[in-house]
Structure 1
Amino acid sequence: MPKNKTPSQTGFTYIELLIALSIGLIIIAAVLQVLYHNAGSVKRQSAHADLQDTMVFSINFVKKQIRKAGMGAKANHQHSGHILKQDTVYGGIVMTAPNQAFGSIDNAVSTNLHGIRLGNAAVPKRLLSRSAVGSSNVLQQKSDQLTILYLMPNSGHYDCQGRGIPKGYYVIERYFVRKDKNATALACASSNFKVVAKRMEDITQWVDISVYTKPNGKTVKSYFSGRGSVIIPNVDYFRVMYGVSDMDNDSQANEDAVNTIEYIAANNAEQAQGFDELNKRIVSVRFGLLMHSQINQVNAFKKQLPHPQDRFKVLDKQNLMLNTKQDMGNFNRQVLESTILLRNARAIY
């Protein structure tokens, strides 16, 4: 009787399993790479869109506010209110303030903040338009500060901190970079005040800008010298330059003023040295911002820091480098620059 034959057994050999496993790992790696790349692209696109949104909405607001500077400037014994200089009373760019805020007002000496005090003291120079006084994420550079002043002739308007402005009140606003949580941001601190006198020579009473007057007439503390309100988040550096012209009277054409503009920066001197020496009128403001996105593009596997050789140009400042001693993250960064022509610095016919 024939013996029963053992049925043959089939399956994968060890080599075949290794080959299949290798192919599977290659496919999985390729899929993961695609997913990782797509996730990175989404983050980069989101960071770029976030930065663009900030630039479109916030920057337009700042430009709109600065464009008001100079409205309501008063004439002094040297020139009319249409020529904005470092001594124009309530001039649009605030660079000078009285050295004292007590006793009678000397109308023979004019400053931007003529007859203005802060509490029981003179307005300190550190609150005026100055260069290199604020926070910055740029190596060996501090951010500038811009202080403007304007008159609001109509009701229904708001200052940079979102507070209603009573009709016929002046508004003073200070733009500067400060710490904001784990980043830096462009902030604005403001106050408003009422001036009864129509001419500089008629100013006899000191006005206190440490208080803010609400539309209902109630006064509250303004905190003009405080931290203010954030208007543009994630600002690494803020630079301001001022367009000056040789024009010194109201009869010259606006086109000539534009053609003779040169841009200079303020400094930290007690008075705006350079403007005093040049004795030029301020006709425009140019500002630049180095900004970064809210969304960090760092990947899930390796934290990336800004390359130490990354360089930026903001107005006249070239080869700016981030301070890599701090954890700057891997954000999308972009420089934005804008030039604003001041209305009251031009001739009016």
Structure 2
Amino acid sequence: MKHDRISMRGSSEVAMLGDLDLAIIGCGAIADSYYFPVLSADAAAREKVWLVEPSVERREKAAAAFGFRRGQLVGDVAELPAKVTAAVNATPSHLHVATTLPLIERGVSVIVEKPLAETADDARRLLTEAGGRSLLTANQYRRFCPSYRLAREIIAAGEIGDVCSINWAEGQKFEWPTQSGFYFRRPWKTGRPRGVLLDIGVHVLDVVCWWLNEEPRVVSAAMDGFGGPECFTRAQLAFGDVEMDLAVSFHSKLANGFVVEGTKGAIRGSVTDFSTIEIRTGSGGWQSKRGPGPAGWTDFAEILLRNFAAAVEGREALLVDAASVVAPLAAVDAIYDAADSPLPSYYREWAS
């Protein structure tokens, strides 16, 4: 089987950031756990990092912890020198548009943390503004995971026949070390505040849209929240002739797995196993298969950063074209629009 090529750690003689100076916008949890460890481990890259963070304490703490240059810490994008032509937007998602637009106006190319924006319309706005001025990509890191890439190749090769259905359940008690708490108090312009579907669901929908090269239609959906950000969503979707049952949760552990059923076989996997999936064809049993490449959390950050720098310098195409993440966001929008919020049984007598 032919595998898609991804540049891995140490596979290139070109420096991780090439000749770029890179700004990190926001020094929160995702920067601390994902980007900073990779950038600080590379001496050449470490010297080319600029931190943009309004909190003096937070940016000073990050510089001290990861060895970034103290003279390259600023409080606002406007303070960056003109030589900074690339950035990572690691701010909370409700700030992505407001903080990415000033970068685009300066001609800066940007990795935007997922989701690219909180709605498909906002994502389209960023793409329109960036057109001809800068490159945009999003950290949909599951596209770099060997297990998810292998599943995509198996589906594309027809090894399980035509895909008929996908069942995906992913959830656990919320434990992300958020520094701002925005997940549960993000402002929202209209409609219900967004929760687990925007956070976990956008990962799932991005993977399935990428696997099938198809946009879904919402058949039915339900979520909790009752005026606040939801912690559980269940949706039935149709990707053309493919039926999907989706469940995501912030407040309880779900099966944390997926099953893809085809006319000639099936694929199944754990959502947290980034290396291995199982495949069954015909009347045979399940067989484990491992996708090629590194499968660590920071490995994906390095893949993203190396590819982004190479794309900005014209050496590679982007692995995640920002235009490709609009369809998953449109699906998220459609699920929110279609979702019912039935009261739990113990509230029904009060509501009657």
The question of a shared fold, defined as TM-score above 0.5 by the shorter chain, is answered with: no
TM-score by length of 1: 0.22
Q: Which has the higher helix share?
A: 2
Larger proportion of strand: 1
